[in-house]
Amino acid sequence: MSLKLFSADGKLVKHEQANAGTHSINVNGLAKGMYTLLAGTQAKRILVNN
């Protein structure tokens, strides 16, 4: 499955391939704020608060 993380302005900031099951994305180094995580065909909003 493809995991894509987009910033609030729509820029792709991370892209990873994941196997079935649980997967984590390292958000160290990203600016605080809202992001959209696209996992396959599902989208979720997440808050990065480093």
Q: E-assigned strands of 1-50?
A: 2-7, 12-17, 33-39, 42-48
Selection from 46, 24, 26, 49 nearest residue 35 by Cα: 46
20 or 42: whose pLDDT is higher?
42
Q: Which domain holds residue 30?
A: 2-48
Task: Name the domain count of the chain.
Answer: 1
Per-residue pLDDT tens over the stretch 14-41: 999 988 788 888 999 999 999 999 998 9
Q: What is the pTM of this model?
A: 0.86
Residue type, 22: T
